Amino acid sequence: MSILHDAEAGISAQKLGHKHAISDATFYIWYKNFGGTEIPEMKRLKSLEEENARLKKLLAEAVVKM
């Protein structure tokens, strides 16, 4: 999340939004959810999101087979 690192360095949300082609609102949502999150925590979050997606897919396949 280099955007959040840039924000912590003092770059404005408007400049970050323009640089990364996102809205100010999107930036603030990300900052609210992930601001101050350490890198290991972000890796863990990504891992959990991937596991969640995999489990949802398995559940959907099981429901279809019923």
Per residue of the chain (66 residues), what is the pLDDT tens digit?
A: 578 788 878 888 889 889 989 998 998 888 888 776 666 777 788 899 999 999 999 999 999 998
Residue 65: which residues within 8 A CB-CB, separation 6 or more?
A: none
pLDDT of residue 51: 98
pLDDT of residue 6: 82
pLDDT of residue 46: 85
Q: The whole model's pTM is what?
A: 0.48
* CB neighbourhood size of 13 (10 A): 17
- Residue spans of the domains in the chain: they are 1-35, 38-66
Residue 3: which residues within 8 A CB-CB, separation 6 or more?
A: 16, 20, 22, 27, 30
